[in-house]
């Protein structure tokens, strides 16, 4: 009777880059990063809503709490909502039931801070310290990228057989590019009376980076010829997409370089005083 060979498979330790990739893609033990980035994303939008309201009514009563609830849902989930409507799918904030509760909890805390019912610890940390700005930018950009990736993938999975000239083997082009841009531009221009205003000032960081990232997702994950030429796995292509959003704001903070426009969550390096 032959003896069975005992084989032991050893799992090699992950490199720091693999750990970073897992963290920003919310995989493995880093599932909690989804909630951390979602909270950071919602906090950034809540600060924008409160800032706009305070600029319009300095010294007067702050924005109505329930008005802010509606604005928060539009500002946080407008892009994915428009992308879903465009391709005929349920909107994400009703299919992922973590989104609206986290959004409203964050808004409640931010509103109570702004109204003076809570000490303004979070707002001062995010708005007045470099570390706070870095955390705010990173969490916002990671979540924004995940929304863009989900919208682009949703369009690519839905549209090929619904095109005017349908074919199961055909790759949709316009739909995924538009969906990825809407998902990544930060609110999908919603509400429209506020969302379109940044375009008046020229190149807008969030819209420009959303277009660039949408092209990257299409080339690295969807179009067969460019996908084969790049030869990246889905994980590494998604990691590259996250880098497109996360890295430029950090370079802006360090060097002042901003080729795609100003990022509202960060400021450039402070000028040295003599």
User: How long, in residues, is the chain?
Assistant: 274
For 131, the 3-state DSSP assignment is: helix
Residue 197, preceding bond cis, omega within 30 degrees?
no
**Residue 259 near residue 239 (C-beta atoms within 8 A):** no
Check residue 187 and give its pLDDT. 64
Q: Is the distance from CB of 47 to CB of 126 less than 8 angstroms? A: yes
> What whole-number distance in Å separates Cα of residue 161 and Cα of residue 143?
29
Q: Under the phi-then-psi rule, with left for phi > 0, alpha for psi from -120 to 50, and beta for the rest, what region is 55?
A: alpha
Nearest to 248 by CA among 237, 239, 236, 257: 257
Supply the angle between the helices 174-184 and 65-87 in degrees, to the nearest 10.
Answer: 170
Structure tokens that stand for 241 in this block: 């997409």
**DSSP codes of every residue in 190-206:** -SHHHHTGGGGGS--HH
Contact 64, 111 (CB under 8 A): no
C-alpha–C-alpha distance, residues 212 and 17, integer Å: 23
Return d(Cα 208, Cα 141) in angstroms, integer: 13
**CB-CB contact of 74 with 169 (8 Å):** no
Nearest CA-CA partner of 194 in 39, 51, 65: 51
Contact by Cβ (8 Å): 73, 91: no
DSSP code for 163: S
Model's pTM, two decimal places?
A: 0.87
Which of these, 228, 204, 211, lies nearest to 177 by C-alpha position?
211
Dihedral sign for Cα atoms in the order 23, 24, 28, 32: positive
Q: Which position has the token pair 């032959």?
A: 2
Q: How far apart are CA 36 and CA 141, in angstroms?
A: 12
CA distance 221 to 238: 9
For position 274, what pLDDT does the model report?
45
The mean pLDDT values, 10 residues at a time, for the chain of 274 residues are 52 79 93 96 91 67 84 90 92 93 95 88 88 93 95 92 78 92 74 57 75 95 94 95 93 85 78 50
């Amino acid at each position: 009777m032959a003896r069975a060979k005992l084989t032991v498979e050893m799992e090699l330790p992950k490199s720091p880059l693999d750990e970073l990739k897992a963290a920003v893609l919310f995989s493995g033990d880093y599932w909690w990063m989804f909630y951390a980035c979602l909270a950071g994303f919602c906090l950034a939008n809540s600060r924008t809503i409160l800032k706009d309201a305070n600029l319009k009514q300095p010294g007067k009563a702050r924005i109505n709490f329930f008005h802010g609830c509606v604005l928060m849902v539009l500002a946080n989930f407008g892009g994915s909502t428009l992308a879903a409507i465009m391709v005929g799918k349920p909107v994400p904030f009703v299919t992922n039931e973590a989104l609206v509760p986290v959004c409203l909890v964050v808004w409640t805390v931010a509103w109570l801070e702004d109204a003076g019912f809570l000490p303004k610890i979070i707002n001062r940390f995010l708005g007045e310290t470099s570390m706070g700005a870095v955390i705010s930018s990173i969490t916002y950009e990671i979540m924004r990228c995940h929304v863009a990736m989900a919208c682009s993938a949703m369009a690519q999975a839905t549209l090929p057989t619904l095109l005017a000239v349908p074919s199961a083997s055909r790759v949709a082009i316009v739909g995924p590019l538009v969906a990825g841009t809407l998902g990544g531009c930060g609110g999908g221009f919603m509400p429209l009376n506020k969302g379109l205003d940044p375009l008046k000032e020229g190149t807008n960081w969030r819209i420009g980076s959303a277009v660039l990232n949408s092209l990257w997702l299409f080339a690295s994950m969807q179009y067969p010829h460019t996908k084969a030429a790049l030869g990246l796995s889905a994980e590494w292509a998604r990691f590259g997409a996250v880098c497109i959003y996360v890295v430029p704001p950090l370079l802006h903070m360090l060097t002042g370089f901003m080729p795609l426009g100003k990022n509202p969550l960060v400021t450039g390096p402070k000028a040295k005083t003599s």
